[in-house]
C-alpha cells in the first residue's frame, strides 16, 4: 500500500507571521536544542537566502518520526526562502553512525542502494522542488567513492584530532561498553565532516541540521571547514523527542513509527497520534504541524478545560497523518476507526484499510465453519466457550457490528473484504478474524 501527500498539502503550508523571523518561530516550537552562535544564526536566517542541508542515512527501508522532525525543520527554513539540500547517505549508509551499545550490522552495497532510492523519495515528498529555492537531493557516494584511502587519510584525516574524536558522546559511550568500537564506526564523524565541506565548496552550504544526539558529527563538519576553508559555518541540533514519562518518543513495543505506509499504515499512524498523552500533545502540535501559534494556544486551552474531548489529539492526528499520507488516506483511517466501534459501515471499507485496522487488534485465523463462540476464545476476547455463549445470549456479541444472539453461528456466514470478520464484545472490546480461503 502506498500513499502520497497532495501538492495542496505542501502549497498550503506557511510559517507563522506572528513571529518576527523564522528563528523566533523555531525557538517557540522547541526545535532548537543546541546550536552554534545563536545571534549569528538569527541574523543569517533573517538575511538573504542561504543553502542548508540535512543528511539521511539509508540504514532502513523507510524514514521514521524522528526523521520527520528534520524534514519539517527543513521545510520551515525553505518557507522562509532558504535553499534546502537533502543528502542521502549512499556512503555513510554503508558504515552507519555509532550506536551507544553495539556495532551495526553492515548492509550490502546492493541493499544500501535500494534503500537510498526509497529514502530519497521520502525526502522529496516533504520539500518543494519548485522555485529558486527548490529542493536539491545529493548522494555522498558521489564524492567519497572516487577517494583513495591515501587521499582520505592525507587530505581529510589529518585535520581531525583523535583526542577530540574520543570525546564525542557516541564514541565515548561505546569505548566504555563491552562492545567497544571499530575503526569503521569511529571514522563516521570524519565522513560526515567531509560531507559538509563538500557541500560548502560546491553549493556554498553554510548550515547543517540534525538531531542533538548527532552534535558531535555536526561539529566535525564546522571544524573541518574552519580548519581548511578559514570560515565559520553553522549547525542546529534539534531536541530528542521524549514523552512526559521519559520514554523514547515514536516507539511502540520496540518498533519505530515509519513514514512508509507499507510499514506503518495510515490507520496505525492516525491512532498513534490520537493516543498522545495530554501532557505531550501541545509540544507535538508545535513540532509536527503547521498550525499557527494562536490555534495551538486555543487547543492548549481545550486540553486544560475539556481534556475528555481530545480535540487537540484529533487535530494532531489529522494534521500529521494528512501530511505523511494525504487527506484521502487519513479520512479512510478515521472512517475505519468509527466503523470498528459501530459508528459506520464496515462493508464500505476497502480491504487495504480494513486489514490495517484489524492489524492493530487481537486476531486469529480460522476456518469458515468456526463458530463465533470459538472465534471469541481464539482471539482472547473471552476465556471459555461457555463464557462466549453466555455473552452472545445476553446480547453483548457483535460480528461486523451486527448483534449475534447465538454463539454457535459460524463466522463464515458474513464476511467483509478479504475474508475478514470484526468481532466485538460489548462497546469497546474488539478483535479481528481472518477466514482461511
| % of the chain surpassing 70 pLDDT | 96
Residue 365 and residue 234 in one domain:
no
Model confidence at 205: pLDDT above 90: yes
Residue 178: CB partners within 8 Å, gap ≥ 6?
none
pLDDT of residue 35: 98
Is residue 83 scored above 50 in pLDDT?
Answer: yes
Residue 213 pLDDT exceeds 60: yes
Beta strands 234-238; 205-211: pairing state: parallel
Please compute Rg for the chain using Cα positions. Answer: 25
Segment (H or E) for 51: strand 51-56
pLDDT above 70: residue 103 = yes
Domain boundary among 186, 208, 240: 240
Q: How confident is the model at residue 254 (pLDDT cuts 50, 70, 90)?
A: low
- Domain membership flag for residue 79: yes
Q: Is residue 159 domain-shared with residue 14, that is, in the same domain?
A: yes
Lowest mean pLDDT across 24-38, 54-68, 100-114, 256-270: 100-114
Q: Is residue 312 part of a domain?
A: no
Q: Report the mean per-residue pLDDT for the chain.
A: 91
In a domain, 148, yes or no: yes
Q: How confident is the model at residue 111 (pLDDT cuts 50, 70, 90)?
A: very high
248: in domain: no
The three grid cell numbers given for residue 352, joined into one nine-digit string: 487495504
Most confident of 88-92, 206-210, 335-339, 352-356: 206-210
Which residues are CB-neighbours of 316 under 8 A, at least 6 positions away?
273, 274, 276, 281, 284, 285, 288, 289
For residues 428 and 355, give the distance between their C-alpha atoms in angstroms, rounded to a whole number. 19
Q: Is pLDDT above 70 for 250?
A: no
Q: By CB neighbour count within 10 A (0-12 exposed, 13-18 middle, 19+ buried), where does 239 fall?
A: middle
Q: How many domains would you assign to the chain?
A: 2
**pLDDT band with cut points at 50, 70 and 90 for residue 8:** low
Domain end among 174, 205, 240: 240
Residue-level pLDDT at 253:
46
Q: Would you say residue 262 lies in a domain?
A: no
Helix (H, G, I), strand (E, B) or coil at 171: helix
| Residue 225: strand pairing partners | none
Lowest mean pLDDT among 101-115, 236-250, 356-370: 236-250
Confidence at 1, pLDDT banded by 50, 70, 90: very low
Please say whether the beta carbons of 101 and 113 come within 8 A: no
Rounded mean pLDDT of 33-44?
97
With a cut of 90, say whether residue 10 has pLDDT above it. no
Mean pLDDT is lowest, of 61-70, 242-251, 378-387, 417-426, for 242-251
Q: Quick one: cell of 279?
A: 501532557
Together in a domain, 372 and 228: no
In this structure, what CATH number is given to the domain that contains residue 368?
Answer: 3.10.290.10
Domain annotation covers residue 288: no
Whether pLDDT at 182 is above 80 = yes
How do residues 373-384 score in pLDDT, each as one tens digit? 999 999 999 999
pLDDT greater than 60 at residue 313: yes
Domain assignment of residue 63, given as a range = 7-240
The three cell numbers of residue 199 are 557541500
Do the domain assignments include residue 424? yes
Interacting residues of 107 by C-beta distance below 8 A, sequence separation 6+: 59, 93, 94, 115
Q: Is 281 a member of any domain? A: no
Give me the residues paired with residue 420 across strands.
Answer: 416, 434
What per-residue confidence (pLDDT) applies to 397? 94
Indicate if the pLDDT at residue 241 is higher than 90: no
175 and 43 together in one domain: yes
User: What percent of the chain clears pLDDT 90, i.e. is strictly above it?
Assistant: 72
pLDDT of 6 over the 60 cut: no
Q: What is the domain-level CATH number for residue 137?
A: 3.40.50.620
Which residue, 197, 213, 240, sits at the end of a domain? 240
CB 163, CB 115: distance < 8 Å: no
3-state secondary structure the chain: CCCCCCHHHHHCCCCCCCCCCHHHHHHHCCCCCEECCHHHHHHHHCCCCCEEEEEECCCCCCCEHHHHHHHHHHHHHHHCCCEEEEEECCCHHHHCCCCCCCCCCCCCHHHHHHHHHHHHHHHHHHCCCCCCCCCEEEECHHHHCCCCHHHHHHHHHHHCCHHHHHCCHHHHHHHCCCCCCCHHHHCHHHHHHHHHHHHHHHHCEEEEEEEHHHHHHHHHHHHHHHHHHCCCCEEEEECCCECCCCCECCEECCEECECCCCCCCHHHHHHHHHCCCHHHHHHHHHHHCCCCHHHHHHHHHHHHHCHHHCHHHHHHHHHHHHHHHCHHHHHHHHHHHHHHCCCCCHHHCCHHHHHHHHCCCCEEEECCCCEHHHHHHHCCCCCCHHHHHHHHHCCCEEECCEECCCCCCEHHHCCEHHHEEEEEECCCEEEEEEECC
d(CA 120, CA 144): 18
Does the structure show a pLDDT above 90 at 170?
no
pLDDT of 104 above 80: no
pTM of the model: 0.89
pLDDT tens track for 378-425? 999 999 999 999 999 999 999 999 999 999 999 988 899 999 999 999
Amino acid at each position: 500500500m502506498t500513499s502520497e501527500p497532495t501538492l495542496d498539502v505542501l502549497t498550503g503550508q506557511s510559517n507563522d507571521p506572528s513571529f518576527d523571523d523564522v528563528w523566533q518561530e523555531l525557538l517557540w516550537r522547541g526545535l532548537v536544542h543546541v546550536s552554534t552562535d545563536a545571534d549569528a544564526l538569527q541574523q543569517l536566517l533573517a538575511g538573504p537566502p542561504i543553502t542548508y542541508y540535512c543528511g539521511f542515512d539509508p540504514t532502513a527501508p523507510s524514514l521514521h518520526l524522528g526523521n520527520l522532525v528534520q524534514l519539517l525543520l527543513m521545510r520551515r527554513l525553505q518557507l522562509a526562502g532558504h535553499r534546502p539540500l537533502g543528502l542521502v547517505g549512499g556512503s555513510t549508509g554503508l558504515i552507519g553512525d555509532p550506536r551507544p551499545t553495539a556495532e551495526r550490522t553492515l548492509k550490502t552495497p546492493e541493499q544500501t542502494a535500494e534503500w537510498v532510492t526509497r529514502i530519497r523519495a521520502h525526502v522529496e515528498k516533504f520539500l518543494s522542488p519548485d522555485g529558486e529555492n527548490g529542493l536539491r537531493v545529493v548522494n555522498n557516494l558521489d564524492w567519497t567513492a572516487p577517494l583513495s584511502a591515501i587521499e582520505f587519510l592525507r587530505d581529510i584525516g589529518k585535520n581531525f584530532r583523535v583526542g577530540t574524536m574520543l570525546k564525542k558522546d557516541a564514541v565515548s559511550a561505546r569505548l566504555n561498553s563491552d562492545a567497544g568500537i571499530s575503526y569503521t564506526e569511529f571514522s563516521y564523524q570524519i565522513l560526515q565532516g567531509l560531507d559538509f565541506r563538500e557541500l560548502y565548496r560546491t553549493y556554498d552550504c553554510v548550515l547543517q541540521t540534525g538531531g542533538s544526539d548527532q552534535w558531535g558529527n555536526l561539529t566535525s563538519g564546522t571544524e573541518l571547514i574552519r580548519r581548511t576553508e578559514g570560515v565559520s559555518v553553522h549547525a542546529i541540533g534539534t531536541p530528542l523527542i521524549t514523552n512526559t514519562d521519559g520514554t523514547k518518543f515514536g516507539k511502540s513495543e520496540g518498533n519505530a513509527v515509519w513514514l512508509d505506509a507499507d510499514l506503518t499504515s495510515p490507520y496505525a499512524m492516525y491512532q498513534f497520534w490520537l493516543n498522545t498523552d495530554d501532557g505531550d500533545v501541545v509540544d507535538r502540535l508545535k513540532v509536527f504541524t503547521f498550525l499557527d501559534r494562536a490555534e495551538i494556544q486555543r487547543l492548549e486551552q481545550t486540553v486544560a478545560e475539556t481534556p475528555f474531548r481530545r480535540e487537540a489529539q484529533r487535530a494532531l492526528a489529522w494534521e500529521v497523518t494528512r501530511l505523511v499520507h494525504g487527506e484521502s488516506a487519513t479520512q479512510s483511517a478515521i472512517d475505519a476507526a468509527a466503523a470498528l466501534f459501530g459508528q459506520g459501515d464496515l462493508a464500505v471499507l476497502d480491504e487495504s484499510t480494513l486489514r490495517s485496522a484489524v492489524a492493530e487488534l487481537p486476531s486469529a485465523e480460522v476456518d469458515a465453519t468456526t463458530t463465533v463462540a470459538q472465534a471469541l476464545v481464539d482471539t482472547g476476547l473471552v476465556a471459555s466457550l461457555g463464557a462466549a455463549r453466555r455473552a452472545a445470549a445476553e446480547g453483548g456479541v457483535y460480528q461486523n457490528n451486527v448483534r449475534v444472539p447465538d454463539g454457535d453461528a459460524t463466522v463464515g456466514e458474513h464476511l467483509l473484504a478479504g475474508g475478514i470478520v470484526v468481532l466485538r464484545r460489548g462497546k469497546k472490546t474488539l478483535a479481528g478474524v481472518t477466514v482461511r480461503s
